[in-house]
């Protein structure tokens, strides 16, 4: 796997520039660094590739950036057993290249995948539209090692697929944004790579047409790895991604084209993969000064109603949708929207505190820091919040790690 150098330039988190960067060379050094920070009363922000630093609530205070980029080794890889153990600072793209040499993969399409690190992807829980067919890293995670401000490294799980009894701690760290500990390594089950893929894109007139076309595919025998109703550059589309053996993919792509019943573009293999990389880039965790990136969520079967309600809610407060990405079957709608530069804070506050429908909530993925202050950008708290608070109290009672950035201002 390709090695990469540690980062030395400052990190910026919601307008806060961190020029003090510590780059430990081992998991033990991470734990020692955190313990020293706790003893000195300092606050620490764990960082990996720096692709998602705008995610979360503005930090209450941060003194040090702790970079994991020097922790980039493959610790164990058994292709025959389909298991991999890798240090947290390894870049996702490098891991994928290693797995590809053996015809295997971690089936994930996160934004910022070239620079994103394994630890960062676990901490942020970012995943792209292929989550429909392949799940997230949470579904592939079988073991984890985490450093804590108490000066210790805890481990849970292992190197076999079925190894968990009781509460599944590795998955609890998924999406915790580095507030419960610094991930130093992780173990995964890996999967065989598909031999072929195809993408069928239907060009339609509007949101309803895109949703109806995608719904026909969803209710068919097809099992796409991604199914999207989207607006890109002002044009509405329905997009279907299929994977498998070459002959099977060709047959299923023809069926998808017939179901979509519109002006069709057909892409294969490398062209298909490249199209999805460009699409997922629209979900990157950054925004223009007048923008916010929002994720609306509901039950999967209510995705279409959610998309209509979300766009209606944005229009009602005067925001303009620049890109819309509805993952049909996942209950997720991501919108990149422009707000009034002066009234943006109040517009965003109104959106965050107003439900767009029953069993629906909104997460502010990215927005200017001054717009986010006073809001909990995460929306509805997870059912595991009490367990997370207990872990935080036990392993980080002084709130050394990312104070205030996670849900419930943990």
Note whether 306 and 396 are same-domain residues.
no
Q: To which residue do tokens 């068919």 refer?
A: 220
Q: Let me know whether 156 and 12 are in one domain.
A: yes
pLDDT reported for residue 114: 80
Instruction: Quick: pLDDT tens for 209-220.
Output: 999 999 999 999
Q: What is the pLDDT of residue 410?
A: 82
Contact 395, 148 (CB under 8 A): yes
C-alpha triplet 254, 256, 260: angle, nearest 5°: 120
Q: What is the CATH number of the domain that holds 237?
A: 3.40.462
> Among 178, 100, 190, 224, which Cα is nearest to 410's?
178
CA dist 224 and 256 (Å) reads 9
Size (the chain), residues = 410
Do both 133 and 206 map to the same domain? no
Residue ranges making up the domain that contains 185: 1-193+379-410
Indicate if 359 and 395 belong to the same structural domain: no
Quick one: 340 and 242 in the same domain? Answer: yes
Q: Give the pLDDT confidence score for residue 2 in this predicted structure.
A: 47
pLDDT of residue 4: 47
Residue 193's pLDDT is what? Answer: 96
How far lies 57's CA from each of 148, 307, 369, in Å? 21, 25, 8
What confidence score (pLDDT) does residue 357 get? 64
128 with 211, same domain? no
Co-location of 176 and 279 in the same domain: no
Give pLDDT, residue 387: 87
Q: What is the pLDDT of residue 158?
A: 83
Q: CA nearest 328: which of 407, 154, 210, 166?
A: 210
Question: Model pTM?
Answer: 0.93
Tokens of 326: 């509805």
Whether 174 and 262 share a structural domain: no
199 with 187, same domain: the answer is no
Is 171 found in the same domain as 275? no
Instruction: Profile the chain (410 residues) by mean pLDDT over runs of 10 residues.
Output: 58 87 97 97 96 93 96 97 97 96 96 90 95 94 96 88 58 91 97 97 97 96 97 97 97 97 94 97 94 95 94 94 96 96 94 73 94 89 84 93 89
pLDDT of residue 262: 85
Q: How many domains does the chain have?
A: 2
**Residues 331 and 383 placed together within one structural domain of the fold:** no
Do residues 391 and 289 share a domain? Answer: no
**CATH number for position 72:** 3.30.465.10
């Amino acid at each position: 796997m390709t090695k990469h150098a540690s980062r030395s330039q400052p990190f910026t988190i919601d307008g806060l520039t961190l020029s003090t960067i510590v780059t430990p060379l081992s998991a033990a050094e991470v734990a020692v660094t955190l313990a020293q920070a706790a003893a000195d009363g300092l606050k620490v922000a764990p960082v990996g590739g720096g692709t998602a630093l705008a995610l979360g609530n503005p930090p209450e205070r941060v003194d040090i950036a702790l970079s994991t980029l020097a922790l980039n080794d493959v610790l164990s890889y058994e292709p025959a057993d389909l298991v991999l153990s890798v240090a947290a600072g390894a870049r996702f793209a490098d891991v994928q290249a290693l797995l590809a040499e053996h015809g295997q993969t971690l089936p994930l399409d996160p934004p910022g995948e070239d620079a994103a690190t394994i630890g960062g992807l676990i901490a942020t829980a970012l995943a792209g539209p292929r989550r429909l067919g392949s799940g997230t890293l949470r579904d592939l995670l079988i073991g984890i090692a985490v450093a804590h401000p108490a000066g210790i490294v805890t481990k849970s799980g292992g190197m076999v697929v079925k190894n968990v009894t009781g509460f599944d701690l590795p998955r609890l760290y998924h999406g915790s944004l580095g507030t419960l500990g610094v991930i130093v390594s992780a173990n995964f089950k890996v999967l065989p790579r598909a031999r072929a893929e195809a993408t069928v894109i239907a060009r339609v007139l509007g949101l309803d047409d895109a949703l109806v076309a995608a719904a026909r595919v969803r209710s068919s025998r097809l099992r796409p790895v991604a199914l999207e109703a989207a607006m890109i550059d002002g044009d509405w589309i329905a997009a279907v991604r299929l994977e498998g053996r070459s002959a099977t993919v060709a047959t299923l792509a023809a069926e998808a084209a017939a179901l979509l019943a519109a002006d069709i573009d057909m892409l294969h293999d490398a062209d298909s993969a490249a199209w999805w990389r460009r699409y997922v880039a629209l979900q990157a965790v950054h925004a223009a000064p007048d923008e916010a990136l929002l994720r609306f969520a509901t039950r999967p079967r209510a995705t279409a109603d959610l998309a209509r309600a979300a766009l209606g809610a944005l229009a009602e407060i005067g925001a303009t949708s620049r890109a819309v990405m509805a993952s049909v079957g996942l209950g997720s709608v991501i919108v990149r929207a422009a707000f009034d530069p002066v009234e943006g804070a109040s517009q965003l506050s109104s959106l965050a505190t107003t439900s767009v429908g029953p069993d629906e909530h909104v997460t502010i993925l990215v927005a200017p820091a001054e717009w986010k202050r006073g809001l909990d950008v995460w929306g509805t708290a997870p059912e595991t919040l009490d367990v997370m608070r207990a872990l935080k109290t036990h392993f980080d009672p002084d709130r050394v790690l990312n104070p205030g950035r996670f849900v419930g201002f943990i």
